[in-house]
Amino acid sequence: MRAFGDTELAKELEEAHRELFNLRFRLATRQLVNYRELRRVRKKVARLKTIMRERELTKV
């Protein structure tokens, strides 16, 4: 992920948020089979945000 450019990171973050929304929707409708997917995607979002923040701080 650290090799991604800024636009790729933003695109990946948007995709992860969309996936998290879908997982939450499936959880609410009791269609989610693997609950670990929620944790995996939440961690992915956190990693992406951390990398974006680190880059933001180094640019200043």
**All residues at 6 or more sequence positions from 51 whose CB lies less than 8 Å from its CB, including other chains:** 1, 2, 4, 9
Place of tokens 């995709």: 15
Domain ranges of the chain: 6-59
- Residue 42's alpha-carbon distances to 49, 57, 58, 59, in angstroms, are 11, 23, 25, 26
**According to the model, what pLDDT value does residue 1 have?**
84
The model's pLDDT over 19-48, given as tens digits with 9 standing for 90+, comes to: 999 999 999 999 999 999 999 999 999 999
Overall fold of domain 6-59: Helix Hairpins (1.10.287)
Q: What is the pTM of this model?
A: 0.90
Check whether 60 has a pLDDT greater than 80.
no
Tell me if 41 sits within 8 A of 23, measured CB to CB. yes
